[in-house]
Structure 1
């Protein structure tokens, strides 16, 4: 709405048109109210009629049924007083909306039943007076009978047996009513047969198929169609979420979650729709929504999770149990009010039937992120797995402290559970430290706990925190008089500090150089630290040597320098000799693992595999057994490098089997799943890869590696999209973007942007062009400020331009394309920009014909400049050459705009650039398509069939001789058409 009220009728209509593009909700409704006030200033009734119609629509779809009849009364008065003002279209809208008023009155329990019947009589009289068919009236009479709980048999026949009229509800809405009639009779199969055209997308409207989907979910489950129910839940929920006028549908999706073992997803969806508690002004919709909410919360509470937080009415923090009690009271009251108005118990009975329904399935995996209520409960300390009982957490505090240190010294995975138990005890109020020489002072234990916390921060790549915690631990070890412990902690701090990404260097080479220098400095400092610390125990000395060797291995990985390779191998040999001399099993296998890694980094994969095989023999004989999963994981990576994906799959599968014996966060289980996903992609098993990606992400999330988790989930969402599982991708991304650390802005903004970008692409693939465009426009605006990454902004702005072009908004598309070109000038994205510009040219020519030719050619001129730049830079496109693609697009664009001579010349140029087809399938297909379009332009539009047939016949012969018979089919078809027309 402009800051000032419209001063002319044209301005009013412009503002009215703009408001009609807004989503339904309070913002649109307020502007509609203001436009009615503005229309009343003009001395003409027509603007007032149009604005009142918009206001009634805003009230209807904004779930404000109390106000809709009031507006309609004004419209009806205007019609009675000045019928000539109403054009045929406005008259149609007026009589259509008698049904809206009937529906609004049913939703208000304070409206007496005689008043509802009186309104239907008014509708019938008006329809008869205007000579309109009564099928719509009988449809409303049936819906009132169904609402009240009367016998609907006669009312249904009087409606369903009549011929439809222009004022009948749309086919989709009437289909839903027929299906609901059969559903109420207990005939799931007949209801689903009636629904099929809507569920299949053959019929739709403003609220369909989302409404039908919500009702069909449980019948689908009851008849064993679980996959279909899952599919429709994902698509249908997206069609109604956060929509006040479809709150009842949201409630049924919550109920579906509760009855399929998806209570955690239900709580997630409830949080996403929290606004509906306050925005829904329709008592009937409130009742429907609240009953669905109660079904979910009742199930959560029944499973023993009533203390879980739940999103509810604003102004208070709710648990599931407290919210259920609140919802129950409100919904019971609403049902009682409707029953009192209707003189039946229908609404209380229907509500009770929903609440008494038992779960239909123990579990149904609805999304790529399946979670149980335990996953959303507060995290409990990680316990040792039940499968192994050899290592138990001691009950005695002195024994626990001593045992924990022993396990930590061995690098044993069970140390994690012991540290968690100790941390709980030490931080509890009233903790008393044992007076036991074997335990040592409290300051030592506090240092131990800090060192463990630092180690876990390092596992999460939180290197700055890791370094700070190690330094703090070292200071406490100094206070405890333990210089060896302090030295190990300080070495850990040096290692973590070297891993902190350097600020400043922008290029990959500069970053690698800076990292190698930091690792070199860290190694030198570690050597000095070890030399200057007296009295190091063998275990401490071996840990320092392990860190030194690891640092040099990372430096070799960063630089690839032969000089660095020699130093890395020498340090590994030093560690191995020391560990062997002192019989430290864990460090011996660590040295052998580092040596194999050094060979792999140096490019000698066969020797690396030989080293790994020797290590596996040792581990199987001497242990430690918990090193086996990681070692098998490295062997799999080497095998993948040697192009033996099948062997890599077998090793990773075995690694995961062995990893199941140990706490997942201690043996790299998440990484193993991620690597197995990569191997599955190499083997052409994407569905299996998807399962491992989501499992990897789930484990990372559970153990605090949130960035790694989101990256894995992002890859899973993209893979799901690539597999055509669009709704799965959108549902997963919606779930991630609703996570508290995402909404609070705590996650890396670029990672969040990547999640949103994938979601926008998924929305586009799902044909939700409006939502996709809105997200792309927002991302383009945000990425414009990425001064350190103009290339990403170029790609996002280019994709945004294409979506705006698809929507026909070519002015805004040109602005976005110009942004993309400006960013491309700073960091080139040749192929992406060229593809987008050519697509924009095609869209403008296709949609606007000759009027769009100038704009389309301007895009092609931009694409030509990019092709020139790419050629000068030596850039080679991954697909067809940019010049060839450009020539072909000139042909298409000119053909769409009717410039057929120019089109044919461009296509001949494209064929010349492509060259004669060869054995390559892709090249042959591209060449055949170019010939087909040239033949169509020449033979059909330029009316020169003879040269066109000569062209087509020669191409068919050439392709046939090369064995490309499939590519000849469209050419043969076109040639037959041209001969038929001669």
Structure 2
């Protein structure tokens, strides 16, 4: 006799389709870029068609990470919505893997931020995602309060933004609210936008005192403090902060949204030539921005630099702008470039305002463009960021195709370009988590010429399953090149399944080659850890 499901009971989830597990692993092994995104989309659609919600969820979570890594934040909105619909239909998916609940809430925060940051979506999309997040985490939770504050600020509703700012500051810490070390910088930016420069400077104090642990600090906070320090009369502090922070931000893809502050500082601090140099250096990044909001702000700040430079007699200077698609490379003069950037900034501001039903973004950009230097030259440190470093400073990063001995800074530069979150311990070991995999990178060998990566699967197995773990590792090593898999008994009744990737770089490595090695290690490490997680 077949037993049916009682009223209110859910039928058990169907088993994973084996072909989808293999396809998902293959998609993760695909190099970063559009090809990986397209393959993950295909796997997710196929999983929907086959009624395999586990594979559909895994594919879309991987797709969100691929979009974030590829610098296309606005594209995360739809897969996040589909993930939420999947777990609402099949809540047992999160019961099986509780860590995915936090991951999904974090991705939901990214989706709200992405929807705010582009006029491609209506403002109701951001509100709906935010209301859904409030239903899952609580109406007064830190992530919800932060996002409601930022949305209200974006719309120009300062009283509502200040209300939610107070709720945000009073909320308990929440790992899905974002890096705790970066929150003061976000708060300082809001306060500065409301004209509370003194409060903004004070908010940054814990970061600058070294009280937070974050790999983006203190440079992220220094960028947030540039204009507040300038306006409260701490010009020397602002100059020092700009030079130090720009040394890092000039090369970090994830720092594109911070460049507007550096450009505005140069324009208002009496350094139009330096502003033009930075604008020339960073113009190519305008063609591959993080989102429309940061594009608008960069273009507005660049237009301000051009206007101030033209007023200083530099309007005829030529600025090289690389070609893109049908746009040929050109060398417009400063005045012409300023007009182009102004058109871009005001056009995007108008699109945001049409979407939002307000005039706030256009007014904000107009106020930026109306700013002018106070007349007092802001002092800068003697050594500008592009001069050779002193002996006790880290060496400058080699060019992308320049062979160099492996260094810790080269590895962290690769991870920074990927947008990864990681930590470096006292021994120089770089540690990060990618989905189900914890990966450690370290230099070994007599000269540190060997790059060794160790992958640790998050899932542990009971020690009684040692024979099964050995069989799994043997099968993996037979079918896959990387990582070399093995099982290790911890002595506390559990097994950890790990893997190694070792590369001898005795003759040096270029940053581009190192990037390929890291990409391969992360992709294969995640696939390995996911395979461990999928064990019965």
**Cα distance in structure 1, aligned partners of 2:383 and 2:452:** 30
Alpha-carbon distance, 1:62 to partner: 4.1
What is the aligned partner in structure 1 of residue 298 from structure 2?
A: 289
What is the aligned partner in structure 2 of residue 770 from structure 1?
A: 412
The 1:211–1:109 alpha-carbon spacing in structure 2 relative to 1, beyond 3 Å, is: farther
Deviations 1:660-711 (A, max 9, x none): xxxxxxxxxxxxxxxxxxxxxxxxxxxxxxxxxxxxxxxxxxxxxxxxxxxx
The structure whose RCO (Cα within 8 Å, separation 6+) is larger is 2
Deviations 1:472-518 (A, max 9, x none): xxxxxxxxxxxxxxxxxxxxxxxxxxxxxxxxxxxxxxxxxxxxxxx
What is the aligned partner in structure 2 of residue 37 from structure 1?
A: 42
The 1:119–1:12 alpha-carbon spacing in structure 2 relative to 1, beyond 3 Å, is: closer
Structure showing greater radius of gyration is 1
Q: Determine whether 1:157 maps to 2:166.
A: yes
The 1:55–1:803 alpha-carbon spacing in structure 2 relative to 1, beyond 3 Å, is: farther
Selected match of 2:104 from 83, 91, 94: 94
What is the aligned partner in structure 2 of residue 335 from structure 1?
A: 349
**Cα distance in structure 2, aligned partners of 1:327 and 1:178:** 28
Structure 1: runs of 5 or more not aligned: 1-5, 20-26, 372-712, 738-742, 744-751, 776-796, 821-982
The 1:808–1:80 alpha-carbon spacing in structure 2 relative to 1, beyond 3 Å, is: closer
What is the aligned partner in structure 1 of residue 339 from structure 2?
A: 325
What is the aligned partner in structure 1 of residue 504 from structure 2?
A: 815
The 1:77–1:812 alpha-carbon spacing in structure 2 relative to 1, beyond 3 Å, is: closer
Selected match of 2:368 from 350, 354, 357: 354
SS of equivalent residue, structure 2 residue 313: coil
The 1:125–1:39 alpha-carbon spacing in structure 2 relative to 1, beyond 3 Å, is: closer
**Cα distance in structure 1, aligned partners of 2:38 and 2:312:** 47
The 1:204–1:29 alpha-carbon spacing in structure 2 relative to 1, beyond 3 Å, is: farther
Deviations 1:561-608 (A, max 9, x none): xxxxxxxxxxxxxxxxxxxxxxxxxxxxxxxxxxxxxxxxxxxxxxxx
**Cα distance in structure 1, aligned partners of 2:449 and 2:353:** 50
Greater helix content: 1
Selected match of 1:213 from 222, 240, 253: 222
Alpha-carbon distance, 1:102 to partner: 1.5
Q: Determine whether 1:64 maps to 2:78.
A: no
**Cα distance in structure 2, aligned partners of 1:814 and 1:67:** 35
Alpha-carbon distance, 1:367 to partner: 6.5
Aligned residues: 410
What is the aligned partner in structure 1 of residue 448 from structure 2?
A: 802
Tell me the C-alpha RMSD between the 2 structures: 4.0
Alpha-carbon distance, 1:205 to partner: 5.1
Q: Is the 8 A contact 2:266 2:274 kept in 1?
A: yes
Selected match of 2:119 from 109, 131, 134: 109
SS of equivalent residue, structure 1 residue 344: coil
Alpha-carbon distance, 1:89 to partner: 0.7
Selected match of 1:46 from 39, 51, 54: 54
SS of equivalent residue, structure 2 residue 171: coil
SS of equivalent residue, structure 1 residue 309: coil
The 1:167–1:228 alpha-carbon spacing in structure 2 relative to 1, beyond 3 Å, is: same
What is the aligned partner in structure 2 of residue 9 from structure 1?
A: 21
TM-score (normalised: structure 2): 0.65
What is the aligned partner in structure 2 of residue 141 from structure 1?
A: 148
What is the aligned partner in structure 1 of residue 281 from structure 2?
A: 272
**Cα distance in structure 2, aligned partners of 1:226 and 1:799:** 47
The 1:144–1:812 alpha-carbon spacing in structure 2 relative to 1, beyond 3 Å, is: closer
SS of equivalent residue, structure 1 residue 67: helix
The 1:208–1:348 alpha-carbon spacing in structure 2 relative to 1, beyond 3 Å, is: farther
**Cα distance in structure 2, aligned partners of 1:774 and 1:207:** 9
Q: Determine whether 1:368 maps to 2:383.
A: yes
What is the aligned partner in structure 2 of residue 582 from structure 1?
A: none
SS of equivalent residue, structure 1 residue 721: coil
SS of equivalent residue, structure 1 residue 92: helix
Alignment of 1:499-510 (within 5 A): none
The 1:16–1:201 alpha-carbon spacing in structure 2 relative to 1, beyond 3 Å, is: farther
Q: Is the 8 A contact 2:226 2:242 kept in 1?
A: yes
**Cα distance in structure 2, aligned partners of 1:93 and 1:11:** 22
Alpha-carbon distance, 1:148 to partner: 0.9
Deviations 1:442-480 (A, max 9, x none): xxxxxxxxxxxxxxxxxxxxxxxxxxxxxxxxxxxxxxx
Greater strand content: 2
**Cα distance in structure 2, aligned partners of 1:800 and 1:279:** 41
The 1:109–1:92 alpha-carbon spacing in structure 2 relative to 1, beyond 3 Å, is: same
**Cα distance in structure 2, aligned partners of 1:41 and 1:254:** 47
Q: Is the 8 A contact 2:267 2:305 kept in 1?
A: yes
Deviations 1:833-874 (A, max 9, x none): xxxxxxxxxxxxxxxxxxxxxxxxxxxxxxxxxxxxxxxxxx
Alpha-carbon distance, 1:238 to partner: 4.6
**Cα distance in structure 2, aligned partners of 1:248 and 1:78:** 33
**Cα distance in structure 2, aligned partners of 1:110 and 1:268:** 32
